[in-house]
Structure 1
């Protein structure tokens, strides 16, 4: 695992090797084990593979054209602003599989009914982005265990992505991730040490 973490690089150029749908689904399933607030799992994914889909994305990218042209897939990571609407799916399944008492399921779902969700609230959106970020880092590490590499792409117009790709505005865009077989070694980069960025509180 240490080699996976320390060997990760942001890869911008990929070979023409395509990741199979089965392998990609396995990678996504592994990455979806990432934690999320109250286990509501708001991450929703949109996969760009075809040339038609790539051309829809191209105008709203701020650079990053090499990844778009060479990656096996580009994944748009989003988070569902209306995540509480589907909470019953997760909790019902948890009860069915003996992972949660029905009383806890009922209590949780009842508490969600009283929540007043403001989809423009910064704190709420930040929590969604955190969940999306946890998934994204998981996916980038998982990809390496399958022999593939990635590059996180924040440089795209988040205000135009819904219209460009034809997706519902309930899905808040978090990040694009390119993934494929590396055709370059990537760049090494320095990291500040734990001693430099850490302080123990007395």
Structure 2
């Protein structure tokens, strides 16, 4: 097996959040390849609760930059990509997986996507089924390990956001491998972003990513990380 650690190390160590970009455009084929790699990210039950809104037109970029509080990473980006979570797409995607399964569907797979997934993620009207499941799991959990969520709309958003964050990292590393830079942003007006991009009702913005060729003054400060002893623990 080929060892790619040196290439991976270089990409990870040189990827920085760039706050200012040049006027150079990113070729469309590069964006498409980076997005293809983004959705190869691991995700919960392969239900892929992500969407990516690629905004390159000047008018929409200006509107989004305003919604991102005129951050330079948004104002100067060649492309803005909204990484969007879907809290209710799991049911449609579960069926799509079965419809597109290559060959005969193993019984365990069919059972998982027709029964287990519904049990885990259905919240019901006003979240009543999720609440009932929370009570049931709390009681059963006194005696054995059980799933501790998601039990609410907020829990489903957290579930989707975890997956989207994995894809976003793939996307930014892929951009760096192609020689382009990026900046993930949490600073934005969610309501205005939703209006500009026209999301489905259950969609929410996990992060905005500005992408382009980093300017010479695009990195503001040195990278700082705490010593791993503060974050890594042997158990």
Unmatched runs of 5 consecutive residues or more in structure 1 = none
How many Å separate the matches in 1 of 2:95 and 2:22?
A: 42
Q: Secondary structure at the match of 2:191?
A: coil
Q: Deviations over 1:145-202 (max 9, x none)?
A: 111110001000123321232222221210000111111251322111222222212x
**Count of residue pairs brought into register by the alignment:** 197
My pick for the range that moved more, 30-39 or 108-117, is 108-117
Is the CA contact 1:47–1:73 (under 8 Å) kept in the aligned structure 2? yes
Q: Does residue 21 of the first structure (1) align with residue 25 of the second (2)?
A: no
Distance 1:132 1:14 in 2: 24
How many angstroms apart in 2 are the aligned matches of 1:7 and 1:160?
Answer: 33
CA distance in 2: counterparts of 1:5 and 1:55, whole angstroms:
30
Q: Find the counterpart in structure 2 of residue 152 from structure 1.
A: 184
Describe the shift of the 1:6–1:70 C-alpha distance in structure 2 as closer, same or farther (beyond 3 A): same
Partner of 1:80: 86
Asked whether the equivalents of residues 72 and 179 of structure 1 are also in contact (C-alpha less than 8 Å), the reply is yes
Instruction: Give TM-score, length-normalised by structure 1.
Output: 0.88
| Structure 2 segments unaligned to the other structure (5+ residues) | 1-7, 128-150
RMSD, aligned CA: 2.0
Partner of 1:110: 114
Return the TM-score normalized by structure 2. 0.76
Moved more, 126-135 or 80-89: 80-89
| Contact 1:63/1:155, CA 8 A, preserved across alignment | no
Query: Do residues 191 (structure 1) and 198 (structure 2) align?
Result: no
Q: 1:53: which partner in 2?
A: 60
Rounded Cα–Cα distance in structure 1 between residues aligned with 2:15 and 2:227: 17
Query: 2:146 aligns to what?
Result: none
Structure showing greater radius of gyration is 2
- The answer on 1:69 being equivalent to 2:103 is no
Are the counterparts in 2 of residues 15 and 181 from structure 1 also a CA contact under 8 Å? yes
The structural deviation recorded for 1:82 is: 1.4
In structure 2, the partner of 1:4 is 11
